[in-house]
Structure 1
Amino acid sequence: MQSFQPQYMNGLHVQETADIRRYWDVVKRRRIHFLVPALIAFTLSVIIAFVLPPVYKSSGTILIEAQEIPREFVTSTVTGYVEERLQIITQLVLSRTKLLEIIKRFNLYDDLAGRYTTEEIIEKMREDITMKPIQAEVVSPDSRRPGTATIAFTLSYEGKDPAKVTQVANVLTSLYLEENLKNREEKAQGTFDFLETQLAELRREIVDAEKKIAEFKNQHISQLPELMQLNLQTMERLEREIDAKREQIKSLTNRKIYLEGQLATIDPMTYMVSPDGKRLMSPEDEVKFLKNEYLKLSATLSQTHPDVISLKKRLEALGKEEATPDDLQERQRQLKEKKTQLALLEEQFSSQHPDVVKAQKELMQLKAHVEALSKEESVLEPKNQVPTNPSYISLQTQIASTDMEIESAKEEVGLLTKKYERYQRRVETTPQVEQQYRALQRDYANAQAKYQETTNRLLAAREAKGLEESQMGERFTLIDPPVMPEKPDSPNRLAIAIVGLVLAIGTGMGFGAVAECTDQSVRRVDELARITGYPVLGAIPLIRTKEDRSRKRRRKLAWAGTAAGLLFVGLMGL
C-alpha cells in the first residue's frame, strides 16, 4: 500500500487548479451521463429538422394611392383611417364563405380533411394568411404635422404546394382589390341614397310648414305681426274720426238747441192782414179772445144779458172749437192768478165788497170751466195743427234735418267705435299670434336651412360617387404580384440543428449534474476524513487488469461509432 499524506496548500492559484481538476474528474466520471442524453437530444433535433415538411410562401405588395383630384375640389365621402379600412377588408376577405370557397376551389388541406372540422380548417387557413402594413413618415394634409401613415401592405399565404400557394396568394390580392373598390362604391352610394332620402323628407317638411303658415295666416289674417303698424295707424285714424264725429254731434246739438229756441219765438200759423195793414187775429186767437171776454162778462152779468148772449152767438158762429191742452193750461193759469187776486182783495176789503164778490164769481166760473175741460178727451190728446208759417216750417225742417244728421253721426260713431274695438282686439292679440307665427316661421327657416345644407351635401355626394365610380379616389394598386416561390420559406433546418445542439449540450450537462448530485459515493480522501472525523492514513489506487483495459477500449470504440453514426445522420439531414 502506498501511504498518503494530506498537504495543506495556500494561495489562490493552487485553489483554482484544484477546483478545475475536480470538475474534470466529474466530467470524466460522468461522461456517459453527459454524452448519451446529449446525443439523443441532438439526434432528435436533427430528425425533427429532417422530417418537417417544407412550407412555401408567396407574397404580394399592394400600394395605397391617394386621391388624384385635390380634396379642395372634390371631397370623398369614404371616411376613416386606412388602417381601419384595411381591417374591415381583411375581415370581409377572411370570412368563412370566401375562405371555404377558396379551399374547395384549390382543394386545400386534404391531409386535414376528416381529422379536423371545417371551422378548424378555416381557422388554420386564417393563420396561414398574413397581412402586414408598410408605414412611412408623412406630413398630414390637414394638420400639417409629421406622422406615421400606412402607404402599402403585403399580403402573403404559405402552404406545402408552391403552385397552389401562388394561386391562392393571387386570389387573395384580387379579393383585397375588389373588396376595396366595392366597399368604397357602396359607401359612396349609401351616402348618396341617404342624403336623397333626407332631402325628400326635408322637402315634405317644408311643404307641411308652408301649409301650416298659410292656414295660420288665413285664420289670423288681420292679427299678423306684419299688420301691427297698419292696425295701429288705423286705430289712430279711427280715433280721430270718432273725435271729429263727436265734435260734429256736439255742434249739431248746439245748432238744434238754437233752432228750437228760434222756433219757440215764431207762431206756426200765418196771420191775416187787413186792407189798412193791420194784422188780423186767426180763428184760434179770436176764439181764445172771445172765451176770455165771455168769462169776464159771465162773472158780472147774467146769462140773459144781451152782451153775454152776443158773445155766445159769436162763439157759435165761429164754430165750436175743441179744447186743447193749451186751453186747459191757460185756464189753470188764470185760476191761479184769480186765487191770488181774491186773496189780496179779501185782505183789503170785506167779503161784501163788490170787487170781492166779482172776484169770487169769476173764480167759481174758472173752476167750473177747468173741471169741464179736464173731463174732455180732446184736452188729453194734442191737436194736430198744420203750421202755415213759412219761417216756422223752415225752422222745423232744419231741426228735423239736424236730428237726422245727429242720428246719422251717432250711428257712424257707433260703427267707428265697434271698428276701433275690433282693431284694438287685433292689436291686443297680436303678441300671442306673433309668438305662434314666429315659431312657425322659425321651423320653416330651419327646414329651409337644412334643405339647402342637405342639397349641398347631396351635390358633394354625387361628385364623390362619380369619383369612386371612375376610380380616381383613393385606391389599391398591385405593385408586386405574388410569384411562385423557388425555395421553402420554412423550416430553417440549420437553425433547428443548431438549437438542437445547444439543447443537447444543456441536456447532457443537466443529466450529468443530476447523476453527480444523487451519487453518495466517497471518492476523495478529504471527503472520507470529513465524514468519519478521523484522519486518513493511506489510500489504495484502482488496479486495472489487461482484461479491464481491453473491455474499456471496446466500450470506447462502440460509443465513438454510435456518435459518428448519429453525427453522420444529422449532417445528411441538413
Structure 2
Amino acid sequence: MFTGLSTPEEYFRAIKNHKWLIVIPIVVCVCVAALVCYWLPKSYRSSTLLYFQEQKVRGVKGVDAPESGGDTQRPDVAMGTRIDALREVLYKRELLTQVAEEFHLYGYDKNNAAPALDNSVASRLRSLVTIEPQVGGLLKVSFADAEPTIAKAVTARLADLFVQENTKSRNAIAESSTEFLQHEMDSLKGQLESKELAIAHFKQSHLGQLPEQMDSNMRAIDRLEGEVSAQQEMEKTLSLRLESVDKALREYEDPSSDVSPKRAEKDPRLVKIRELERTLAGFRSMYKETYPDVARVKNELSQLQAMTTDEYVALYIEPESSEPDGPKRVKRKQIDPYKSELIKQREDIVREVDLVHRRQARIAEDIRKYESRIQGTTVHQQELMSIQRDYENLQKNYQSLLEKKLAVGMAGNLEQKHQGTQMRIIEPAGLPSWPEKPNLIIVMFGGLAVGCALGFGSAFGIEMLRRGFVSAEEIEVTLGVPVFATISHFQSAWPGGAKLTAETARRKDRLLALPGFRKEGLLVANGGSSVGRGQVSVGPELVAMWYPRSVVAEQYRVAATRIGLMAGQQESTVIVMSSALMGEGKTSTALNLAHVFARDLNKKTVLVDCDLKRPMVHAYAGMELSVGLSEVLLGEKQFEECLEYHEQLGVWILPAGIIQSGIAALTHVDRLSKLINSLREKFECIVLDAPPLLPVAESLLIVRMADVVAHVIRARTTPRDAVMSALKMVGQERALGVILNGVEEQDSPYSYYSYGNKIYEPHRAQLR
C-alpha cells in the first residue's frame, strides 16, 4: 500500500503549487537565525599545544610505565590516564584563582575574596578550560572568553603554569609516594614477624599433626598394617608348629594308645625316620637350610639312618611285659634326646607365640597413635592454612611495596636530574578571529534546514492530504470495502495511447466528459479525427465495445463478474453506479458495464440515466436528447414509450429526459420505485446511473433502491474525506463495492498484456 507522492513529477508539481508556502518559512527562519547570531553573546577560544618529551633514561621497569619499552598497556588507555592526572594539576583551585587574579577575570580580587567566591571563580574557569589529546602524543589546552586578547593571554599563562606545576607535582608525588610506601612496608614487616612466630608456635604445639606430615603418617600406618599381617601369619605358623610338637610328644609318650596291631609290627626306627623327615620338610618350608632347627633335625636324621633297627631298639627301647601271655609293651628310656628336643621346641614355640602377641599389642598401639595424629591433622589443617594464607598475602604485599618503592625512588631521581618525562610548549597561544559560540555556520544552516523542513513539509503534507486513493489494496485496507476492478485510463487501450502522459490522459477524460464537446461529429480513438453522425454513433469512452481485447475491457468484465457473484441468484438485479463528486467516470463506467452485461454475460440489460440535473448517458451513447425518466416520473409518459434499444451496445437505454430538474426525483420517489419494480419484470440487469452523492440530494434516495452499489472513485483525484463521507451515506444495508477508475500505468497491479489490440471486424471499417 502506497499513500505518498510516488513520482518526481508529483513532487515538482507540489513544489510549484505551494512555492510561496515553501519560500516564506525558509526566508523567515534564515532571518531569525541571523538575528540570533547577531544578538547572542560571543565567546572566543584560544588554544596552545603541549608535547610530552620522552624520558631520557629508558628501559627502567616501573618508571614512566606508558613510555617503557616492555609495557603492554594500550596507548589510548595510557593517554587517558595521563590526561586525568594532568587535569588534577591544571584544575587546582590555587592555580585557577592565581590566573583570575593576574588578569582580573570576573572582577576577582584575592585579598577581598571569600572562600565561596574562590570556589565559584575556580568552577567557572574549570568549565572554560579544556584539555584534549591530539594525534602524535600532543595535548591541546584551550580557554574561552568574550575578549580574544584575554583568551590568548590566559591560555599562554595557563600553559606556563601547567608546565611548572606538572614538574612540581611529579616531584611531590614521588616524595610522598616514597614516604607512604616506607610507612606501609614497616607496618607489613611487623605483621609478617608476628605471623612467623604464630606459625612456629603452631607447628611446635602440633608436632606430628601437621599437614605436611600426613603422608609420612599414612605410610607408617601402611607399614604397621603390613607388620600386623606378618605377625598374624607367624602366629598361625607357630600355632601349627605347636600342634605338631604336641602331637609328636603324645605319640612319643604313649605309642600304644593309637597303634593298631599292624603298626606294632612296623620298624620303630623307620617310624622315627619318617617323623623326622616330616618335621624337616615343615622347617624347610618356613626357614632356610642354615636355621638351627633344620640343622639339628638333619643331624638326628642322619644318625638314625646310620643305625640299624636293633641298635635303635637297644639304645632307646627295652621290652617289658606285664602278663606272660599278654602283649608286649614298649617302654622308652628316660634319657631320650628326641623327647627332650621336642620339649625344648615346644618351650621355644610358646615363647615365640608370647613374643608375637606382645608385638601385635605394640603395633596396635602404634596404629592408634598414628590414627590420632591423622585426625588431629584434619582438625588443625584449616587453622594452619588460614595462618599461612595470611602470611603469604602479607609477603606478597610486602614484595609489591618493595618493588614500588624502588620504582618510585628511581622515578624521583629521574625527575630531580631532569631525565624523566618532561612537557614543553611547541605552539604558543594564538589570537582567535572567529567566535566559538555561537557557531554561525551551524546556526545559519540550522535556520535554513528548519525553514526547508517547515516549507517542504507543509507543501508535501498538504499535497498528500489532498491526494486520493492510489491502489485497490489501499482502498480495501483503509475503507474495508471490496474492489470490483481497477480501470486504467482509456487512452492506454487506444492505438498509441500508452505514450500519453498521465496529466494529458486526465485532461482528455475531462474534455470527453463535456456535453458540448461533440458538435456534428464525435472524437474517435485514433488520434482525434472526426467522422460523421451516420458513421460512428458511440464515443471512444465505450472501450469495452471498441477494444474488447484490451486490459481495460477485461477489467470491466472482471467487475461485471464480481457484481454478478455478489448479487447471487436473483432473477433481476438493480445496480446503482454512484460517486462522491462529479467527473469521476461514473457514466462511462455504467455504459461499459451495461455493454459487458448484455454482450459478454448475455443478460437483458437496461441502463437508466437518473442524473436529471446533468445527464450524460445520451451524449456518450451518441443518442439524441429525447423524452425519458423525467417524463415518466411526472406521469407524462409510460416507460415503454421512452425506452430505446441501442444496436451497437446491445443495451436498452432510458435517458434522463428533456425536463432536467431534480424536483421530479425528490417528489416522485414512489413512482421511481414502482418503475424499478416494473423494470425488474422485463430485464435481468438494471443499471442506474445515479448523480453524485455529496452535491445532489436525490442520489441517496436512488442508492437505497439498489441491490448492489458500485461506487466509482477516480485514482489520485477524489479526496479521501469525500469518499469516506459518501460511503457513510450509502451505509451497510446493501452490497457495496468500489471501482477504481483512472489508474495510471505504474500504479496498476496488472501487467499490460493485450491480444494485439485488434478491433472487432464490424468496427474496423468505421475507424479507418
Q: TM-score range by the shorter chain?
A: 0.3 to 0.5
Structure with greater contact order relative to length (CA < 8 Å, sep ≥ 6)? 1
| More helix per residue | 1
* TM-score under structure 1 length normalisation: 0.38
Indicate the structure (1 or 2) with the bigger Cα radius of gyration: 1
TM-score (norm 2): 0.30
